[in-house]
């Protein structure tokens, strides 16, 4: 019999109950007992869902009040010293984990929060384990064992999930140690604690433990590969069965290593890497279970059960009862329940809804698929299969998806369309003549404070309490206010402030055809923060101009060159659920063409400076370096396609906010933006080394004002930063600007900070 299971379930709750409860706890509105009760209730409900769907195991250990990687840090006692008296404290309590995550909690002394970063290539952020030489570890949390008791108490057959030791280390970072200290040296200290955990679980009657090791789909240094052998030779002796879970890609050169590790089962991702199934089958020892991740855990499309049944028939034949089925990865990365998207206020129409499956629906898909493969399908399974086939057939044929005009335009696009008319050295003087900017021109990244008033107005509009006219009038008023304040501050290239935008991707998604929005499709991004990604379901077109009237209005209020503001094609793609019926590159090019029209419309409306933000360019990098070039080629090309329709005299800006450029500097230069503004203030301009070494040819605005803190930067400090920039980049190519948009800041901070920034530019002009 084929077993059906999942690697993990979303924990936020269909109504974001977890978000509401944790935030209430942080604010002091509820106590810890109430928070724990909400956690228990959510777990009980999610286990019940899994049980009711007919999964053979329910999965315990995927719950976290903040983050599952942080949970393992707590389990191992890996708490940085600023939060605790000693290495490996006896108990890491809930508030300590909250302090690690956010710097403060209802109890305990505040301290600088741990770094947070994206989990592999997802939009989920985890807390980076901080590791130092000689660090000690010990079993410091009872939480996992308590949850196992809870699940057993509810009568479930369970499997426990836990991040594996090597992936946990892989996700960590070395902090203050010898220069050549490697966190891998800590493996020997960690393994005994993992051994203890497994023994405790065995003592609780747990049969299977799933150790998540997605690091195995990345390029691993030789020492790490060897460490996998050492670690699993040791853990393989544990008195439980181990399922080694890999996902987000192919095992590739780690396939033989992985398949050979002495564990009882292996999970592979057969959605991202369907081609690896045969190779794994050929190499899998005959004592091992193979869990095939056949349902997409990263996307929201309904599975093609008929196709999967056929594709998996060989695996079933070769493995017999050793075949398990699951989603490709934890369902943490998809929204909770499509059933919520019906009734009054629904934003997804029935046809579109029929093409989708959220976490709850994916449980049914796994269960039905397992029974279909075994030829023990119930009438319900057969009906699910028929409905899926019908919906998918309709999707394939739908005129809402395939638009001949889009295909024709894409086919007619030439390489020349992605190139500006002239090279930068010819464009620059033309732009200088038109824009008449001083040396060290000052600008901002786009957004100004999203005040409570702005948000309240938007809420009122969405709730139907005020008319579109009234809403737009308020936004125009806000724009006028923002433009006037920038004039008073003396900024050289003002912006309109983005008051009318709720979110930099949603705003464009709502105006493009081929993109839909769910009403409750929330996905955890970090901690209590959730995002509701747009759903790109069809060919993309732009029925009407999206930003032109706002920019035009803003320009009418000033003689300075107003900067138009757009979100780039790669970022729109990266922060959405993307259709799975064509390459991502094609979808990205479609978005690029829609944006290209917006860019040329802005130009025609007299906007001389246009910024196309690409903060997500870097995070789109594939997990394997060997795949980087292909991605960068199409991503860069999409950006250029969106930008290159303008005349030489129109200045294209782009903006990126992350602090690693070294390995992609060639691609950044290839974007050929006239000006790039980047985040640098926290790195003391060291980041510019990459630009200097590469002899980056165009203009750069290295951020001098860290907008992530409420601190107001002093004039001298910003001048000093710019002097460091001047060691690397000539004055003629430098701009003065903040690190990122100001939407999360208040006017009380922004006003003095920008006053100082403009003053810093004046000091620099006098000096150079």
- The residues of the shown chain that bind ligand GLN, judged by CB under 6 A, are 445-447, 498, 504, 565, 613, 615, 655, 657, 740-741, 743
Cα separation, 177 vs 381, whole angstroms: 57
Instruction: Check the annotation: does 474 bind a ligand.
Output: no
Helices (H), 339-378: 350-353, 359-373
Instruction: Check the annotation: does 365 bind a ligand.
Output: no
Closest contact distance (angstroms) between CB of 563 and ligand GLN is 10
* Residue 64 in tokens: 């976290």
Instruction: Check the annotation: does 190 bind a ligand.
Output: no
Instruction: Check the annotation: does 241 bind a ligand.
Output: no
Binding partner of residue 67 among Zn ion, ligand GLN, none, CB cut-off 5 to 8 Å per kind:
none
Closest contact distance (angstroms) between CB of 655 and Zn ion is 6
How large is the greatest C-alpha to C-alpha distance in the chain, in angstroms? 82
* Angle between helical axes of 468-489 and 747-767 (0-180°, round to 10): 40
Instruction: Check the annotation: does 56 bind a ligand.
Output: no
* Angle between helical axes of 584-604 and 548-556 (0-180°, round to 10): 30
Stretch that binds Zn ion, among 90-98, 234-242, 414-422, 650-658 (CB under 5 A): 650-658
For 47, 585, 665, the CA distances from 670, given in Å and listed in that order, are 50, 17, 8
Which is nearer to Zn ion, 503 or 513 (by Cβ)?
503
Contact yes or no for 388/302 (Cβ under 8 A): yes
* Residue 495 in tokens: 């912006």
Interior angle at CA 268, CA 267 and CA 274, nearest 5: 150
Which is nearer to ligand GLN, 521 or 615 (by Cβ)?
615
**Three-state DSSP state, 331:** helix
How many Cβ atoms are within 10 Å of 695's Cβ, its own excluded? 7
Closest contact distance (angstroms) between CB of 679 and ligand GLN is 9
Cα separation, 431 vs 250, whole angstroms: 47
Which is nearer to Zn ion, 196 or 659 (by Cβ)?
659
List 46, 125, 496, 708, catalytic entry: 708
Which is nearer to ligand GLN, 581 or 619 (by Cβ)?
619
Which is nearer to ligand GLN, 504 or 719 (by Cβ)?
504
Cα separation, 87 vs 484, whole angstroms: 54
Binding partner of residue 197 among Zn ion, ligand GLN, none, CB cut-off 5 to 8 Å per kind:
none
Binding partner of residue 172 among Zn ion, ligand GLN, none, CB cut-off 5 to 8 Å per kind:
none
* Neighbouring residues of 149: CB distance < 8 A, sequence distance ≥ 6: 204
Closest contact distance (angstroms) between CB of 702 and Zn ion is 13
Instruction: Check the annotation: does 393 bind a ligand.
Output: no
**Three-state DSSP state, 516:** strand
Closest contact distance (angstroms) between CB of 737 and Zn ion is 11
- What is the number of the residue whose Cβ is closest to ligand GLN? 741
Strands 529-531 vs 523-526: parallel, antiparallel or unpaired: antiparallel
* Residue 180 in tokens: 């050549």
Closest contact distance (angstroms) between CB of 679 and Zn ion is 6
Which is nearer to ligand GLN, 509 or 615 (by Cβ)?
615
Which is nearer to ligand GLN, 290 or 504 (by Cβ)?
504
708 is a catalytic site residue: yes
Contact yes or no for 290/323 (Cβ under 8 A): yes
**Three-state DSSP state, 211:** strand
- What is the number of the residue whose Cβ is closest to Zn ion? 657
Interior angle at CA 55, CA 52 and CA 57, nearest 5: 115
Instruction: Check the annotation: does 679 bind a ligand.
Output: yes
Cα separation, 393 vs 388, whole angstroms: 8
| 197 binds Zn ion, rule: CB under 5 A | no
Closest contact distance (angstroms) between CB of 449 and ligand GLN is 11
- Identify which of 733, 516, 426, 527 has the alpha carbon closest to the alpha carbon of residue 105: 527
Which is nearer to ligand GLN, 566 or 588 (by Cβ)?
566
Q: Give the interface size with Zn ion as a residue count (CB under 5 A).
A: 3
Stretch that binds Zn ion, among 138-146, 263-271, 423-431, 740-748 (CB under 5 A): 740-748
Cα Rg of the chain, angstroms? 27
Closest contact distance (angstroms) between CB of 735 and ligand GLN is 15
| 101 binds Zn ion, rule: CB under 5 A | no
Which of 657, 675, 688, 734 forms a contact with Zn ion (CB under 5 A)? Answer: 657
CA 752, distance to chain mean position in Å, is: 33
Binding partner of residue 759 among Zn ion, ligand GLN, none, CB cut-off 5 to 8 Å per kind:
none
Instruction: Check the annotation: does 619 bind a ligand.
Output: yes
| 6 binds Zn ion, rule: CB under 5 A | no
Interior angle at CA 398, CA 395 and CA 402, nearest 5: 110
Which is nearer to Zn ion, 164 or 615 (by Cβ)?
615
Specify which residues 162 forms β-bridges with: 211
Binding partner of residue 447 among Zn ion, ligand GLN, none, CB cut-off 5 to 8 Å per kind:
ligand GLN
Instruction: Check the annotation: does 745 bind a ligand.
Output: no
Count of alpha carbons within 13 angstroms of residue 398, beta-carbon side:
18
CA 717, distance to chain mean position in Å, is: 33
Binding partner of residue 565 among ligand GLN, Zn ion, none, CB cut-off 5 to 8 Å per kind:
ligand GLN
Instruction: Check the annotation: does 118 bind a ligand.
Output: yes
For 117, 265, 628, 677, 755, the CA distances from 680, given in Å and listed in that order, are 17, 46, 24, 9, 19
- Identify which of 637, 30, 7 has the alpha carbon closest to the alpha carbon of residue 366: 7
* Neighbouring residues of 365: CB distance < 8 A, sequence distance ≥ 6: 295, 302, 303, 305, 357, 384, 388
Which of 740, 754, 757, 760 forms a contact with Zn ion (CB under 5 A)? Answer: 740
Residue 517, by phi and psi: left (phi above 0), alpha (psi -120 to 50) or beta?
A: beta
Binding partner of residue 62 among ligand GLN, Zn ion, none, CB cut-off 5 to 8 Å per kind:
none
Binding mask 593-622 for Zn ion (x = CB under 5 A): ----------------------x-------
How many Cβ atoms are within 10 Å of 715's Cβ, its own excluded? 16
Instruction: Check the annotation: does 657 bind a ligand.
Output: yes
Binding partner of residue 504 among Zn ion, ligand GLN, none, CB cut-off 5 to 8 Å per kind:
ligand GLN
Closest contact distance (angstroms) between CB of 468 and ligand GLN is 24
Binding partner of residue 674 among Zn ion, ligand GLN, none, CB cut-off 5 to 8 Å per kind:
none
Which is nearer to Zn ion, 335 or 615 (by Cβ)?
615
Instruction: Check the annotation: does 446 bind a ligand.
Output: yes
Contact yes or no for 400/537 (Cβ under 8 A): yes
Which is nearer to ligand GLN, 328 or 571 (by Cβ)?
571
Binding partner of residue 446 among ligand GLN, Zn ion, none, CB cut-off 5 to 8 Å per kind:
ligand GLN
Cα separation, 224 vs 220, whole angstroms: 6
Helices (H), 611-664: 628-643
Instruction: Check the annotation: does 759 bind a ligand.
Output: no
**What is the three-state SS of 519-569?**
CCCCEEEECCEEECCCEEEEEEECCCCCCHHHHHHHHHCCCCCCEEEEECH
Closest contact distance (angstroms) between CB of 496 and ligand GLN is 11
Closest contact distance (angstroms) between CB of 166 and ligand GLN is 33
Binding partner of residue 72 among Zn ion, ligand GLN, none, CB cut-off 5 to 8 Å per kind:
none
Instruction: Check the annotation: does 529 bind a ligand.
Output: yes
DSSP code, position 273: -
Instruction: Check the annotation: does 652 bind a ligand.
Output: no
* Neighbouring residues of 192: CB distance < 8 A, sequence distance ≥ 6: none
Binding residue positions for 5-methyltetrahydropteroyltri-L-glutamate: 16-19, 118, 123, 529-530, 575, 619
Known binding-site positions for L-methionine = 445-447, 498, 613
Would you tell me which residues interact with Zn ion (CB under 5 A)?
A: 615, 657, 740
**Which residues are designated catalytic?**
708
In the annotated binding site for Zn(2+), the residues are: 655, 657, 679, 740
Binding-site residues: 16-19, 118, 123, 445-447, 498, 529-530, 575, 613, 619, 655, 657, 679, 740
């Amino acid at each position: 019999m084929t077993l059906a299971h999942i690697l993990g379930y979303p924990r936020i709750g269909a109504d974001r109950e977890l978000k509401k409860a944790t935030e209430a706890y942080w604010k002091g509105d509820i106590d810890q007992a109430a928070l724990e009760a909400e956690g228990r209730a959510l777990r009980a409900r999610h286990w019940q869902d899994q049980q009711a769907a007919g999964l053979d195991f329910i999965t315990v250990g995927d719950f976290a009040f903040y983050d599952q990687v942080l949970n393992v840090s707590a389990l191992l006692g890996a708490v940085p010293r600023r939060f605790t008296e000693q290495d490996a404290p006896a108990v890491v309590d809930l508030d300590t984990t909250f302090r690690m995550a956010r710097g403060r909690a209802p109890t305990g002394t505040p301290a600088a929060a741990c770094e947070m970063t994206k989990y592999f290539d997802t939009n989920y952020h985890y807390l980076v384990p901080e590791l130092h030489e000689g660090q000690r570890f010990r079993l410091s949390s009872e939480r996992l064992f308590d949850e196992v008791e809870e699940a057993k108490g509810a009568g479930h057959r369970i499997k426990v999930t836990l991040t594996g030791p090597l992936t946990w280390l892989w996700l960590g970072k070395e902090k203050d140690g010898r220069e050549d200290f490697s966190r891998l040296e800590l493996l020997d200290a960690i393994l005994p604690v993992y051994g203890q955990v497994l023994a405790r679980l065995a003592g609780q009657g747990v049969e299977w433990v799933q150790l998540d090791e997605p690091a195995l789909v990345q390029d691993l240094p030789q020492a790490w590969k060897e460490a996998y052998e050492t670690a699993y030779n040791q853990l393989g002796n544990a008195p439980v069965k181990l399922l080694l879970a890999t996902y987000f890609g192919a095992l590739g050169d780690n396939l033989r290593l992985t398949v050979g590790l002495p564990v009882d089962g292996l999970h592979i991702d057969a959605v991202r890497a369907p081609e690896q199934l045969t190779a794994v089958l050929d190499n899998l020892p005959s004592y091992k279970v193979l869990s095939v991740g056949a349902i997409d855990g990263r996307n929201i499309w309904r599975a093609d059960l008929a196709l999967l049944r056929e594709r998996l028939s060989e695996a079933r034949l070769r493995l017999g009862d050793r075949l398990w089925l699951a989603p490709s990865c934890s369902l943490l990365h998809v929204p909770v329940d499509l059933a919520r998207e019906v009734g009054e206020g629904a934003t997804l129409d029935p046809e579109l809804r029929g093409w989708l499956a959220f976490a709850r629906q994916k449980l049914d898909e796994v269960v039905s698929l397992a029974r279909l493969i075994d030829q023990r399908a119930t009438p319900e399974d057969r009906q699910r299969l028929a409905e899926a086939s019908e919906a998918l057939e309709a999707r394939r044929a739908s005129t809402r998806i395939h638009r001949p005009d889009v295909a024709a335009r894409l086919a007619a696009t030439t390489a020349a369309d992605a190139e500006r008319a002239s090279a930068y050295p010819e464009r620059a003087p033309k732009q200088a003549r038109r824009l008449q900017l001083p040396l060290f021109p000052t600008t901002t990244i786009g957004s100004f404070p999203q005040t409570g008033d702005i948000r309240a107005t938007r809420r009122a509009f969405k709730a139907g309490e005020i008319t579109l006219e009234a809403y737009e009038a308020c936004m125009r008023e806000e724009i006028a206010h923002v433009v006037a304040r920038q004039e008073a501050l003396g900024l050289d290239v003002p912006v309109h402030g983005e008051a009318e935008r709720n979110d930099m991707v949603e705003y464009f998604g709502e105006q493009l055809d081929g993109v839909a929005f769910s009403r409750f499709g929330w996905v955890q991004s970090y901690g209590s923060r959730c995002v509701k990604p747009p759903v790109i379901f069809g060919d993309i077109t732009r029925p009407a101009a999206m930003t032109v009237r706002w920019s035009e209005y803003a320009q009418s209020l000033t003689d300075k060159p107003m900067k138009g503001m757009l979100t780039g094609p790669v970022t729109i793609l990266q922060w959405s659920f993307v259709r799975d019926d064509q390459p991502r590159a094609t979808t990205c090019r479609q978005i690029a063409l829609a944006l290209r029209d917006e860019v040329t419309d802005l130009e025609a409306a007299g906007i001389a400076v246009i910024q196309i933000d690409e903060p997500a360019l870097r995070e789109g990098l594939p997990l394997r370096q060997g795949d980087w070039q292909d991605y960068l080629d199409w991503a860069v090309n999409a950006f250029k396609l969106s930008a290159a329709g303008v005349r030489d005299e129109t200045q294209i800006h782009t903006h990126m906010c992350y602090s690693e450029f070294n390995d992609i500097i060639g691609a950044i230069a290839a974007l050929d933006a006239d000006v790039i503004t980047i985040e640098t203030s926290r790195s003391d301009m060291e980041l510019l080394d990459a630009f200097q070494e590469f002899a980056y040819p165009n203009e750069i605005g290295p951020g001098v004002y860290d907008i992530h803190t409420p601190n107001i930067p002093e004039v001298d400090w910003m001048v000093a930063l710019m002097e460091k920039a001047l060691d690397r980049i000539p004055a003629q190519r430098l701009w003065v600007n903040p690190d990122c948009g100001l939407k999360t800041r208040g006017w009380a901070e922004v006003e003095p900070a920008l006053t100082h920034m403009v003053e810093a530019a004046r000091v620099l002009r006098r000096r150079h």
